Structure 1
Amino acid sequence: MNVDRFGGPALSLFRVVTGLLFLCHGLASVFGVFGGSRGTGQPIPFGTWPGWWAALIQVVFGTLVLIGLATRVGALLSSGSMAYAYFVVHQPAALLPLNNGGELAVLFCWSFFLVAVLGPGRWSLDAAIRRHRAGGLGAYAPAPARVSP
Structure 2
Amino acid sequence: MDVDIGMLVVRLALGPMLFVHGWNKAMGSGGLAGTTRWFGSMGLRPAWLHARLAAFTEMGAGALVTVGLLTTPAAAAFVGVMAVATFTDHRGKGYFVFKGGWEYTLLIAMVAVALACVGPGAWSLDRVLGIELTGVLWAGAALLVGLAAAAALLLACYRGRR
State the TM-score, normalizing by the size of structure 1. Answer: 0.69
Change (3 A) 1:118 1:97: same
User: Contact between 2:94 and 2:101, CA under 8 Å: does it hold in 1?
Assistant: no
Q: Distance in 1 between matches of 2:120 and 2:9?
A: 9
Q: Tell me the residue number matched to 1:21.
A: 17
Following superposition of structure 1 onto structure 2, how do residues 1-149 of structure 1 map, counting pairs within 5 Å? 5-32=1-28, 41-45=29-33, 48-91=48-91, 93-98=92-97, 99-130=99-130
Gaps of 5+ in 2: 37-46, 132-162
Unaligned 5+ segments in structure 1 are 33-40, 132-149
**Pairwise CA distance, 1:51:** 3.5
Greater share of residues in helix: 2
Give 1:128 deviation, angstroms. Answer: 0.7
CA distance in 1, matches of 2:73, 2:12: 15
Counterpart CA distance in 2 for 1:95 and 1:103 is 8
Q: Is the 8 A contact 1:19 1:66 kept in 2?
A: yes
- How many residue pairs match? The answer is 118
**CA separation in 1, counterparts of 2:54 and 2:105?**
12
Q: CA deviation at 1:49?
A: 4.9
Tell me which stretches of 4 or more aligned residues in structure 1 moved more than 6 Å.
none
- Greater Rg over alpha carbons, structure: 1
Cα deviation digits, residues 18-69 of structure 1 (max 9, x gap): 101110111111112xxxxxxxx22122662533321211011111111111
Instruction: Check whether the contact 1:97–1:106 (CA below 8 A) recurs between aligned residues.
Output: no
Query: What do you get for the CA RMSD once the two structures are aligned?
Result: 2.1
Letter in 1 for 2:114: L
CA drift of 1:116 comes to 1.5
Identity of aligned residues (%): 26
| TM-score, normalised with respect to structure 2 | 0.64
CA distance in 2 between counterparts of 1:116 and 1:87 reads 23
Cα distance in structure 1, aligned partners of 2:107 and 2:52: 20
Q: State the distance in 1 between where 2:18 and 2:62 align.
A: 5
Shift of 1:80: 2.0
Cα–Cα, structure 1 residues 107 and 94, in superposed 2: closer, same or farther, change >3 Å?
A: same
- Check the 8 A contact 2:86/2:102 in 1, yes or no: yes
Deviation at 1:86, TM superposition (A): 0.7
Q: Residue in 2 aligned with 1:38?
A: none
Query: Does the Cα contact within 8 Å between 1:79 and 1:111 map onto a contact in 2?
Result: no
